[in-house]
Amino acid sequence: MAVLGSSSSRSVAVVGAVFVLVLVLDGADVCNGGKTSTYVRKEEKAVDMPLDSDVFRVPPGYNAPQQVHITQGDHVGKGVIVSWVTQDERGSSVVRYWSENSEHKLEAKGNVHRYRFYNYTSGYIHHCTLRNLMYNTKYYYEVGIGLTVRQFWFMTPPEVGPDVPYTFGLIGDLGQSFDSNLTLTHYENNPQKGQTVLFVGDLSYADNYPNHDNNRWDTWARFVERSLAYQPWIWTAGNHELDFAPEIGENQPFKPFTHRYHVPYRASNSTAPFWYSIKRASAYIIVLSSYSAYGKYTPQYKWLEQELPKVNRSETPWLIVMLHSPWYNSNNYHYMEGETMRVMFEPWFVEYKVDVVLSGHVHAYERSERVSNIAYNIVNGLCVPVHDLSAPVYITIGDGGNLEGLATNMTDPQPNYSAYREASFGHAIFDIKNRTHAYYSWHRNQDGYAVEADSMWFFNRVWNPVDDSTSV
């Protein structure tokens, strides 16, 4: 037994211990990522606002237009789609509009329709596109012509160009809870005034109510009218827009969403409203659908394959992609649900140097470093994301405040591609300064309006492709 204490055996033991320590340290380097916030929030389930809340109030007057909202109406920002609902009767589908410094009022005529969903019949849904507007101009507009007239206004964006500053708000998975109201209030009061919202899906959560209660589409649209009537929200379809319910005879996916929220998809040669693109100021924005077919040869795949080469980074240097289900997600909630789409499209995102990918779905906040995982080919074992300066930053912003509550169950340890993550409700701002720099900030609802819980300077991948990592 004395041989166990010999110098040779002790050397072997020391070498083995060092080897194990190296493995542990090496594993820590691979697995441990950026910062998981230590912020402690109250563990409370989100609660929907009662139906008699003032945010859901129907505007006064006979057949008064309600649920007024606007979005971009063409590819370059000179068009606006105005939408609203009348409840008592069809009424007029005309929009009267004029620029701030003009007394000459113009009129555009839209169309109107209704839809049925199970035992619900919608009001009269109006959509009207205003075309050939002047850039960087304040317009007033009126709806409800002939009965109860309501007036609103909006600003058109600056002309498309490489150094045009522009500020986007980022919101997702909003719903209609007290937390939803806080999110929208914080966005409205943020000193960095957003000019357009990039909305990454999951609007009303009507499908969470018995029989997909479509009255909840109406209450949600009245709730958000205070923002949507005055600035465009750019729409992404999420899983809560599917409303696929064969058990009650509803077999048409996206039925309420497509009737209520029109987008200018034909302007970018898309064949469906779930994937499309727009230019706005110095940004080229591509919207994709996580819940439409995207495999090879499908319409969405073919469209994106043809769309990416069209992006002229000398004209629109900032390339932003919106989709609902995140590709890089270190939360156990919806973990890896976006993986098949990532496998299909990530090589293109790297090739065309997408600056940022915005997603929702996970009810928490997370920002990645610039990483890619495109080397893996089934047999080579190269299945770990790597630092890649040609890759986008992935931001999950599904923290709007819906009744399903926060996703607090995060993977441990935090992976190295994850720069910052936190289970709190909030919104973000993407503030483009010029072709080389954009300032990004995330704001949690519990803080003051100007407080930034997370932030970074984005360096454009084409015009300033230096390392903008924020974690060691």
pLDDT in tens, the chain (472 residues): 333 444 444 443 433 443 333 333 333 334 556 778 776 566 667 899 999 999 999 999 999 999 999 999 999 999 999 999 999 999 999 999 999 989 899 999 999 999 999 999 999 999 999 999 999 999 999 999 999 999 999 999 999 999 999 999 999 999 999 999 999 999 999 999 999 999 999 999 999 999 999 999 999 999 999 999 999 999 999 999 999 999 999 999 999 999 999 999 999 999 999 999 999 999 999 999 999 999 999 999 999 999 999 999 999 999 999 999 999 999 999 989 999 999 999 999 999 999 999 999 999 999 999 999 999 888 998 889 999 999 999 999 999 999 899 999 999 999 999 999 999 999 999 999 999 999 999 999 999 999 999 999 999 999 999 999 987 5
Position 383 scores a pLDDT of 86
d(CA 383, CA 31): 13
Q: In angstroms, how far is the first alpha carbon of the chain from the final one?
A: 49
Q: Where are the beta strands (DSSP E) in 336-410?
A: 356-359, 365-368, 371-372, 386-387, 393-397
Residues making up the chain, counted from first to last: 472
- Please return the burial class of 293, using the count of CB atoms within 10 Å of its CB with bins 0-12, 13-18 and 19+: exposed
Does 334 participate in catalysis according to the annotation? yes
Q: Are 292 and 271 in contact (CB under 8 A)?
A: no
d(CA 369, CA 346): 15
Nearest to 150 by CA among 99, 189, 219, 92: 92
Count the neighbouring beta carbons within 10 Å of the beta carbon of residue 358: 29
β-sheet with 111-113: strand ranges across: 66-72, 80-86, 124-130, 111-113
Q: Are 171 and 197 in contact (CB under 8 A)?
A: yes
Phi and psi at residue 197, to the nearest 5°: -100, 130
Model-level pTM? Answer: 0.92
Position 2 scores a pLDDT of 39
d(CA 40, CA 166): 33
Nearest to 231 by CA among 279, 168, 281: 168
**H-state helical runs in 250-370:** 255-260, 299-307, 339-351
The b-or-e profile of 42-80 (16+ CB within 10 A means b, else e) is eeeebebbeeeeebbeeeeeebbbbbbbbbbbbbbbbbb
Q: Are 215 and 204 in contact (CB under 8 A)?
A: no
Position 45 scores a pLDDT of 75
Per DSSP, what are the bridge partners of residue 143?
150
Per DSSP, what are the bridge partners of residue 321?
286, 357
d(CA 56, CA 397): 25
The one catalytic residue among 334, 361, 363, 427 = 334
Q: Are 388 and 372 in contact (CB under 8 A)?
A: yes
